[in-house]
Homo-oligomer: A and B are copies of this chain.
Amino acid sequence: MSDSDSSDTVLPVAVDAMGGDDAPGTIIEGARLAAERFGVEVILVGRPDEIGDVGSIPVYEASEVVGMDAEPASAVRRMKDSSIVRAAELVRDGEASALLSAGNTGAAMAASLLRLGRIKGVSRPAIAVPFPVLNSTPSTLLDCGANADCQPEWLVQFAQLGTAYARRRFDLPRPRVGILTIGEEAGKGNTMVKAACELLEEGSWADGCDANYVGNVEGSDVMMGVADVIVCDGFTGNIVLKSLEGLFDIFRPTVEQTVAKAAAEAEANRNGNGDGTGDDSVLATMNSHIDPMFEYFSPYNTGAAMLLGTRGVSVISHGSSSPETISNAIKTASGFAADGLVSELAAAVQTSV
């Protein structure tokens, strides 16, 4: 077990240098930022010739790379010298405090499961993703894709794991926990969800982790802040995550283009020339307000999905993450390890269902 509770040494974060749309460049830059801004040490794992000269940042050699489109489980089993597998081994062997990858999500998950193993008592680890909420702390949705088919009992464990995670990540003393379903009233949902609801309503699961169970959460409430932790099966969670990302990806450029067009028209009206050749002060003012709003809601800025339930911290970033996002995720991963999150997750699931 690599949880840094057991050690006084501050260990570096093992970063898969080869994973991500613009790897290794973006990842290296993110590692540099993490050191400069947050003083968090990193080991870059990957092909030294591709990583190149990175100054004082240590590089751990791994000769193989799991591609973004590779079938995760078989790739991880086959490619024993891949960057993601070697990075997970550094955590397992106590050489690193936590693992970060922006590569193939399934491979990061499989490598973490196979090399770190599960926390005792955990049936299935789950991917937890924080969703931005207007004027409040994010809500964490899990499972966002680790388990396409779920047993009702697993959702109860997700509730326990999510509670420990949200408490630590967002400093919430008694996280509110809900279950994602298709109606407000109790007894709504599909067969699996209805069974999970009954288990969750029974309540004893919440004692050990001090959760506040708030019942059903509908799709429309995912970003409304009605619960701090929202549990669902990995099929549903992944589709919700991707759907909201997809809508964001449509809205942001559409709003930006619409505002730019309107700003040009407003300038032209002012200048009375009607050809839109005024200066760009209206657009600049618009963007100074709109950009921060979109950054706040951007699913790419939460930056750190986490696999909850493995014996070690495993954080998964978007393939399209910027260096800033990578550096934030490295800081988050390091903080989880230093705070002993894995121990807290282990304690949370000890309350039997």
By a beta-carbon cutoff of 8 Å, the part of chain A in contact with chain B is 69, 71, 134, 145, 148-149, 180-182, 184-185, 188-191, 193, 218-224, 233-236, 238-251, 254-255, 258-259, 261-263, 265-266, 269-270, 281-282, 285-286, 288-290, 293, 297
Contact = CB atoms under 8 A, between A and B. Distances in A.
B240 A220 contact: no
Contacts of A181: 235, 239
Given A148-B190, A261-B289, A262-B289, A223 B242 contact: no
Number of copies: 2
A239 B242 contact: no
B293 A258 contact: yes
A293 B189 CA distance: 34
Given A71-B185, A254-B293, 8 more contacts: A145-B182, A189-B235, A218-B239, A218-B242, A220-B245, A243-B244, A258-B289, A263-B286
Given A251-B297, A289-B258, A293-B255, A246 B233 contact: no
A224 B269 CA distance: 35
Contacts of A223: 246-247, 250
Nearest to A232: B239
Contact of A266 (B148, B240, B249, B281): B281
A106 to B, nearest CB: 8
Nearest to A238: B182
A266 B282 contact: yes
